[in-house]
Amino acid sequence: MEIAKISEIGQIIIPPEMRKIYSLEMGTEIILTDTGKGILIQPKPPFHPTTLNEVAGCLKYNGSPKTLEDMEAAIPQGIQEQWHDCS
């Protein structure tokens, strides 16, 4: 448990250990939730949570559909191309 004081303008200082544990850096947006017994402070997620159904098919592909076999054959080829580019 940590104890902090509220400044004249309503600011509090989160102890350095807690900032490090929760990756709270200067400028991090936080969410304040009234729990009825106190205030819950959480870092704001960088993106709105989404489901697969919301994003599936958002990238357009022009061409014939690929089979699972086509995709599995392309994996080693892609790895070989990336490895060759790193040499």
Residues 6-48: tens digit of each pLDDT:
999 999 999 999 999 998 999 999 999 999 999 999 999 888 8
> Does a structural domain hold residue 40?
no
pLDDT above 90 covers a percentage of the chain that reads 56
> Does a structural domain hold residue 70?
yes
Q: How many domains does the chain have?
A: 1
Rounded to two decimals, the pTM is 0.49
Q: Tell me the pLDDT band of 86, cut-offs 50, 70 and 90.
A: low
- The amino acid that residue 20 corresponds to is K
Distance CA 12, CA 4 (A): 6
> Does a structural domain hold residue 37?
no
> Does a structural domain hold residue 73?
yes
Range of the domain at 64: 58-86
> Does a structural domain hold residue 66?
yes
> Does a structural domain hold residue 67?
yes
> Does a structural domain hold residue 28?
no
The kind and range of the H/E element at 21 are helix 16-21
CB neighbour list of residue 22: distance below 8 Å, 6 or more residues apart: 43
Distance CA 33, CA 41 (A): 7
